[in-house]
A and B are shown apart, each in its own frame.
Chain A
């Protein structure tokens, strides 16, 4: 097996005739085994009227399939001490179960049963409607959620990234079971899926078992390409929101490259320099952390100077061009105008002078250290292998890692110059209404 710079376990990979990609990662000492199924289906595949369908299908895949009645999927896994969950993104949906290793058969059986044959009954869809409303309401309680939803809606007019993964309220009210079934049968299937098994198992026996269970499934899963192309932005867009909250908050976005673009590594470096987070190669991902990065530029320029109580950046590479964002929560008495000026000054400096040698050295050390600790625990390993396989390829992890270490100051500076342009800038400002009752 080829030696990789990112120390992942040895893998066995194959593709079934029906198109299903399989990745097996045997970890003999693991007390558990984690089974993941990733679909290259997400809110990008929806259209107005059925926004939120991917997320709703995610819920419905726990509500019954031919061999598992309502509640039996949960019960089968949890009753042996396992855990299971799922999440939906713009570009993918992922389902996982982690169980003590002797119970591997259970998640494999569930995933093979619901990959193409989930029931999605009218009764259960209706019952789930209020649960999904409730999930959205819980998110709406946070100004940050409302601001981000508005930001993407403002930034995109054609592409499906313009709605939130949970879907629009009106669509949650109206979506029918028939529409969900149609969506599920159109996109979910072997051709759009990656199955990952990580943990303690005999790879030969499990490869046989996987072939036996999944080869029988029909070749399915339609084209998940999004044909709509967002036209270039032609000017700054702004919105003002208000509602309950603490202090003023703002989020600014700029059009950013897609994952496959050559600019991806330099854009990730900009995100780490501004916000401090090394994201895909952060040490201790999954470990509870404060999210504060005192050495990052935004923190130093805004939080240390008493302008903000929090300030960071975020860039998640997506399949299609997305947004690079900067967000800050004002300190008491600081206006959003003042905050915007300070953010502009930080970005101008990066464009003017690029990153320092020290910043790049620190970043490389951080990425190397983070990568060294990235593969610990079957659940996390399953996540990581599935994520890279789905967004592009397993080889891409290694490629990205090496590219990040190679990015130089001039490249970062040039990328910053191209990224932070006024014509693609989108600003959403949130002003709290009324007073808080803390005084």
Chain B
């Protein structure tokens, strides 16, 4: 595999008015391509009283744009065999197009139209507002989403960019006029601070040319920067949310974590894999499900962003079993922070993490996700190539130290949501 055909080796191209352009070689023989625009447009930018605006704008962009009203855009995509998707994280708003490899250029053009010229038609706004209201209700009444929401609310104070799930509340969503959505789009979907990643077999020069055709003169606005305040000192908290009539109790134990750029990131990544991130092999899965048969799912997650992160250990179990599961989550997090991971266990996890790299290259869509992540964080072009070596360099002591830093217990919270007795 040459450098220009290895999907693990990205190619950074010429920026356009601050918009970074990245090409990822498509997996050999891939029938599809993918392209993503990422802008400084995450839910962390929601102004007070306008919570939900970032996610609403992000979703509306994929509904109707430029010359395409909603149904025309859907037909255009269907006829091309293409899909548009959107994702809003606390830091960024993303729009992705996926479709036949041979049509990549015209579909990048369509992505450009979507990013540059969303229509924000009043009917579309009203429809999405109705859907947001229902999703807000769902978020509050479903044990899993309610537990996630409560965890964020307990960890982060009001106004913190990582506090929200992006759906806003009834008042904020219904009060957003079209003009505000247009302004938010103008200020946050910018060249400066933006990123375009294209996974294709076409060469970088062709990607640069297509990007120039689509995004030249896109936006003169300066991309906004997210302000992330430092958390004050606090102690572990506990929240119990009774939701009558549900069958399963959802448990979250979580707290703030490190940013992706932290020097201990790779150690923290492996610490999370040991705890609950690696399917089937992890301590939480083994202890809660395999040895004790207490839950169908039990895992941990570490989400590292540019300015901070969030960790969580989680499980879903019955109303008669959750009291046994909560201490197991706490003990396993504490054990990871306190004790050095045996080398043999670490090596098993490490071997698995290194071995899975080829699986991410099975399809364009999977490979593309990696490329977007690496480019968003501004990592080196060969970061994915060197990823196995980085993993190999981590020692058990590194993992313990990283766990102490990444699995912050001082600001942590335990949330139990579902058919529980609040006492």
A29 and B362 contact, CB distance less than 8 A? no
Task: Tell me which residues across on chain A come within 8 A of B134, comparing CB atoms.
Answer: 246-247, 309, 329, 331-332
A78 and B143 contact, CB distance less than 8 A? no
A433 and B245 contact, CB distance less than 8 A? yes
B355 and A438 contact, CB distance less than 8 A? no
Question: CA of A293 to CA of B83 in the docked complex: distance in angstroms?
Answer: 11
How many interface residues does B have (CB within 8 Å)? 79
Would you give the 0/1 interface string for B299-337, flagging 1 where the beta carbon is closer than 8 Å to chain A? 000000000000000001110010000000000000000
Q: Which of B181-189, B224-232, B363-371, B372-380 contacts A (4 or more CB under 8 A)?
A: B363-371
Question: Which residue of B143, B279, B321, B354 contacts A83 across the interface (Cβ within 8 Å)?
Answer: B279
Which residues of A (347-399) have their CB < 8 Å from a CB of B? 362, 365-366, 368-370, 372-373, 375-380
Which residues of B (23-52) have their CB < 8 Å from a CB of A? 27-32
Which residues of A (74-99) have their CB < 8 Å from a CB of B? 74-75, 78-84, 98-99
Task: Tell me which residues across on chain B come within 8 A of A418, comparing CB atoms.
Answer: none
Whether, in the assembled complex, A402 has its beta carbon less than 8 Å from a beta carbon of chain B, the answer is: no
Question: CA of A103 to CA of B294 in the docked complex: distance in angstroms?
Answer: 32
Would you give the 0/1 interface string for A399-439, flagging 1 where the beta carbon is closer than 8 Å to chain B? 00000000000000000000000000000000001101111
Question: CA of A101 to CA of B358 in the docked complex: distance in angstroms?
Answer: 9
Question: Which residue of B138, B140, B352 contacts A437 across the interface (Cβ within 8 Å)?
Answer: B140
B127 and A303 contact, CB distance less than 8 A? yes
Which residues of B (90-137) have their CB < 8 Å from a CB of A? 98-100, 123, 126-127, 130-131, 133-134, 136-137
Summed over the interface, the residue pairs from A and B with CB atoms below 8 Å come to a total of 221
Question: Which residue of A31, A74, A373, A380 contacts B361 across the interface (Cβ within 8 Å)?
Answer: A31
Question: CA of A84 to CA of B366 in the docked complex: distance in angstroms?
Answer: 17
Task: Tell me which residues across on chain A come within 8 A of B397, comparing CB atoms.
Answer: none
Whether, in the assembled complex, A131 has its beta carbon less than 8 Å from a beta carbon of chain B, the answer is: yes
- Return the chain A residue nearest B418 by Cβ: A141
Question: CA of A372 to CA of B142 in the docked complex: distance in angstroms?
Answer: 38
B362 and A98 contact, CB distance less than 8 A? yes
A436 and B144 contact, CB distance less than 8 A? no
Task: Tell me which residues across on chain B come within 8 A of A129, comparing CB atoms.
Answer: 293
Question: CA of A439 to CA of B133 in the docked complex: distance in angstroms?
Answer: 11
Q: How far is the CB of A148 from chain B (nearest CB, A)?
A: 15
Q: How far is the CB of A359 from chain B (nearest CB, A)?
A: 10
B295 and A362 contact, CB distance less than 8 A? no
B80 and A141 contact, CB distance less than 8 A? no
B83 and A141 contact, CB distance less than 8 A? no
A365 and B78 contact, CB distance less than 8 A? yes
B318 and A244 contact, CB distance less than 8 A? no
Would you give the 0/1 interface string for A200-243, flagging 1 where the beta carbon is closer than 8 Å to chain B? 00000000000000000000000000000000000000000001
The 8 A-B pairs at the shortest CB distance, nearest first, are namely A81-B355, A369-B81, A31-B358, A81-B356, A377-B362, A140-B247, A377-B363, A137-B247
Given contacts A29-B27, A79-B352, could you give 7 more A-B pairs where the C-beta distance is less than 8 Å? A71-B290, A83-B356, A141-B418, A287-B85, A369-B78, A380-B363, A438-B133
Offer 9 A-B interface pairs, CB within 8 angstroms, sorted by A. A74-B281, A75-B348, A80-B355, A100-B359, A129-B293, A294-B63, A376-B363, A377-B362, A436-B141
